[in-house]
Amino acid sequence: MQLGTRWTSGDEPPQAVPEALRHGIHAVDATIPLDQLGQPRPRWTLTWLEGRPIAELDTGVIVTLDADGHAVARNDPEDGFG
């Protein structure tokens, strides 16, 4: 079993995050506008399912790796945005 980790959107992901997943996370982070009202930024959670990394943002966006090892971002269908 591998333990996950959390970090704030816009911060550099921890070393435990695979390089290929970082590209997808950075792409998602770039779409999140900076809050001018001082609201906290959403946080990422890294988990592992059957040895594969999954990064989920508090907003429901999920970044995984496809079969070729490329980052793929999607909205969780349960969040109402999908």
- Answer whether residue 81 shows pLDDT above 80: no
* Model pLDDT, residue 34: 72
Return phi, psi of residue 27, to 5°. Answer: -65, -40
For residue 30, give both structure tokens.
Answer: 């770039």
The answer, yes or no, to whether residue 80 has pLDDT greater than 50, is no
Question: How many CB atoms are located within 10 Å of the residue 28 CB?
Answer: 19
5-79: CATH number: 3.10.450
Q: What confidence tens digit (pLDDT) does each residue in 23-40 have?
A: 999 999 998 877 666 677
Report the pLDDT value the prediction gives residue 37, as an integer from 0 to 100: 67
